Amino acid sequence: MMNYLISAYSVNPYHGSEDGVGWNWVLQYETNYKAGDRIILLTKKYNAEDTRKGFEEFGIKHIELVITDVPLVLNWFREKYSMFHHMYYLLWQHYAWKWVKQSGINFDVIHHVTMGDYRIPGEMSKAKNARTIFGPVGGAQITPDSLKIYEKNIFTAKIRELVNASCSINPFYIKKIREYTDVIASNDETYQQIIQIRGRANTQQMVELGIAEEYKKRKIVTKSDGKLKILFSGRLIEKKGVIFLIEVMNLLKEKVDFELNLCGWGNLSDTISQLIDEYELNDYVNMVGEIRHDKMVSYYYNADVFVMPSLRETGGTVLIEAMAYGLPIVAFDTSFCTQLKRHKCGIFVETNQTIDKIKADFCSALVELSGNRQLCYELGKNGYRYANEELTWEKKYNLIFEKM
């Protein structure tokens, strides 16, 4: 008989990203429930309605939902001024820990699952008699120097790098991160940062995301030769590197026949449209717009290769989805993609070089896949196998709790 607490600032059965991460951990705790266990999900009021609905729809019978929140006036402030989101998150963590202290429950395990930001460890590590688990968390990744020309707000980027660097010398942060029983980093950059502070003991690396049930064992469609069909899915914002991608397409049009479907919308939509006109790419690039999640199936099945030129990324749900359809990946050799490179899931471009060389290499990767469809298939098959065998939520849960 064990008492478990899932601390999930973000959790929602009907959303992706952080919300989806939180919900998938809920599903794993429910699946692994043993008679006599008590499992509590602690989250904020904003998630309550959808989470209750999800409990009923997905048959969550053994988890109690507890809502704790900051004062209402600060809830309003956070919704109106999103720039203070992280400050609000810090406050929520304080109130979450306050609830734990006042609950009178002797928790055996306290698992912080969201938000997955290593820079904000919260206060759950104070629970001395519990196994406290922090993660998977990321955030140490930064934009490579050559790609910083695509950062709109240089000041914000500098602040982010300073905050990252301060974690190694901030005594309050160091104390908290060392207090946790286990810390789990979601990518190489974050893992290296954390082991410098607390060493390798009980510090492990694990991808934050996992393959959703509906994507497991999807049929792989054999593609015919012809024009290379490229797919991008994501927000059209600076961080996603979409301007870089259009510049690469301008190089690619001189080398192979291709079609790029840009699925997504964002503050760069107009800029991207203008660049497509400027580079005379209208016959090559389709701005599809925002596509409902359930409507993406045909785009994945129609594509030969998936591209993700993100300047920095902790994980990338779309990468796992693309691999679930057997698509090879072309991206930068950073963050989660460093792990995909080890498993030969695509072609990953080195970023420690000039921007012109990065563009040329990205273009060359697409040219190579266009001319070698067998390689295209093999890399896609590797990704398919990795996603279905190694990136399951069941495996993540088992890796964490195999000690117990």
Q: What DSSP string runs through 75-135? A: HHHHHH-GGGHHHHHHHHHHHHHHHHHHH----SEEEEEES-BTT---SGGG-TTSEEEEE
Cα separation of 266 and 348, whole Å? 25
- The pLDDT of residue 40 is 98
Whether 182 and 257 map to the same domain: the answer is no
Model confidence at 186: pLDDT above 60: yes
Whether 175 and 227 map to the same domain: the answer is no
DSSP 223-274: PPSSSEEEEEES--SGGGTHHHHHHHHHHHTTT--EEEEEE---TTHHHHHH
- State what percent of residues in the chain have pLDDT above 70: 95
Task: Give the chain's radius of gyration (CA, Å).
Answer: 22
Lowest mean pLDDT among 19-28, 210-219, 309-318: 309-318
| Average pLDDT in the chain | 90
Cα separation of 87 and 73, whole Å? 14
Closest by CA position to 324, among listed 259, 229, 388: 388
Cα separation of 331 and 343, whole Å? 14
Whether 201 and 86 map to the same domain: the answer is yes
- The pLDDT of residue 196 is 92
- The pLDDT of residue 85 is 73
Lowest mean pLDDT among 155-164, 209-218, 319-328, 363-372: 155-164
- The pLDDT of residue 317 is 82
Q: Which residues face 261 on adjacent strands?
A: 231, 286
Structure tokens at 278: 């400027």
Where residue 79 falls among pLDDT bands split at 50, 70, 90?
A: low
- The pLDDT of residue 315 is 65
- The pLDDT of residue 404 is 55
The dihedral sign for the CA sequence 380, 383, 388, 393? negative
Whether 243 and 371 map to the same domain: the answer is yes
- Residue 377 corresponds to which amino acid? Y
DSSP state of 4: E
**Which domain, by its residues, includes 55?**
3-207+392-401
Whether 182 and 41 map to the same domain: the answer is yes
- The pLDDT of residue 376 is 93
Whether 200 and 229 map to the same domain: the answer is no
Most confident of 14-23, 263-272, 346-355: 346-355
Whether 154 and 231 map to the same domain: the answer is no
Average of per-residue pLDDT across 101-108: 95
- The pLDDT of residue 283 is 94
Model confidence at 88: pLDDT above 90: no
Name residues whose C-beta falls within 8 Å of residue 206's C-beta, 6 or more positions apart in sequence: 135, 136, 184, 185, 186, 396, 399, 400
Decide: helix, strand or coil at residue 386.
helix
Closest by CA position to 325, among listed 392, 381, 368: 381
Which residue, chain included where needed, has tokens 């019978």?
61
In the chain, helix, strand, coil percent, each to 5? 50, 15, 35
Cα separation of 38 and 6, whole Å? 11
Cα separation of 288 and 290, whole Å? 7
Cα distance between the two ends of the chain: 12
Where residue 314 falls among pLDDT bands split at 50, 70, 90?
A: low
Cα separation of 283 and 316, whole Å? 29
Whether 33 and 142 map to the same domain: the answer is yes
DSSP 30-76: HHT--TT-EEEEEE-GGGHHHHHHHHHHTT--SEEEEE----HHHHH
Average of per-residue pLDDT across 218-247: 88
Cα separation of 335 and 150, whole Å? 18
- The pLDDT of residue 75 is 66
Model confidence at 224: pLDDT above 90: no
CATH of the domain at 293: 3.40.50.2000
Model confidence at 356: pLDDT above 90: yes
Model confidence at 373: pLDDT above 60: yes
- The tally of domains found in the chain comes to 2
Whether 185 and 219 map to the same domain: the answer is no
Whether 176 and 255 map to the same domain: the answer is no
pTM: 0.86
8: left (phi over 0), alpha (psi -120 to 50) or beta: beta
Whether 217 and 362 map to the same domain: the answer is yes
Model confidence at 295: pLDDT above 90: no
- Residue 152 corresponds to which amino acid? K
CATH of the domain at 193: 3.40.50
Most confident of 130-134, 195-199, 209-213: 130-134
Cα separation of 309 and 335, whole Å? 12
- The pLDDT of residue 291 is 83
Whether 346 and 217 map to the same domain: the answer is yes
Cα separation of 42 and 39, whole Å? 10
Average of per-residue pLDDT across 153-174: 80
Model confidence at 62: pLDDT above 90: yes
Q: Which residues face 112 on adjacent strands?
A: 7, 134
- State what percent of residues in the chain have pLDDT above 90: 65
Structure tokens at 326: 């057997």
Alpha-carbon distances, residue 235 vs 142, 276, 316, 318 (angstroms): 19, 17, 12, 11
C-alpha angle 101-17-53 in degrees, rounded to nearest 5: 65
Closest by CA position to 308, among listed 286, 268, 273, 335: 335
Name residues whose C-beta falls within 8 Å of residue 278's C-beta, 6 or more positions apart in sequence: none
211 versus 71: which is more confidently predicted?
211
